Structure 1
Amino acid sequence: MDPDLPGADIRIGYARCSTLGQELDSQPDALAGHGIPREKIFSEKTSTCVRVRPRFEEALRTAREVKVAGPPSSPTTCSDAARGESPLSRSSPT
């Protein structure tokens, strides 16, 4: 499907790890493996206690710009899925 057409499958990814000692490379690689273009993958190393997440905010702005409904996130590990509903889906109007 042409990504410029209304209703096209526009995928946006967000990857985050909590500590500087954790490796972030596998998450963007996994998201890219699910067909998300590298330029639409936003990643950062920041604690869950930090309220300001610039790359997450950029991902939200991008999602709002394309205005295409789709799955809000794809957890890359079981621990990610166990954390419950993603912030992106909570932030999105339904």
Structure 2
Amino acid sequence: MIKEHNIKQNISKEMQEKRKNEAVVAAHQLTEATVEHLNARISYAYNNQKRIDVECKKLESKSANLIKNAEQWVDLVEQMNQTLKVFIIFLMNK
């Protein structure tokens, strides 16, 4: 009877150890899957941020060019305005 009890106890310990090992393996697999998932999402966000940064730089450059062109137009209109004033004064003095 004691022998039977010891055998059952050993079997129970072995089963418990097996379940413990299975739980450790499952926890490790879950951790790996979670890390891979997070890394994929972080990589996706990082790549999106890089694309956004590139687009921002392009937009900055285009905005600077637009400002430069607008200033040139303002100068041209101002010159034309001055020329028209001189021309009108010339016509009035004739």
Common fold: TM-score over 0.5: no
Structure with max Cα Rg = 2
Scaled by the length of structure 1, what TM-score is found? 0.19
Scaled by the length of structure 2, what TM-score is found? 0.19
- The structure where strand makes up a greater share of residues is 1
- The structure where helix makes up a greater share of residues is 2
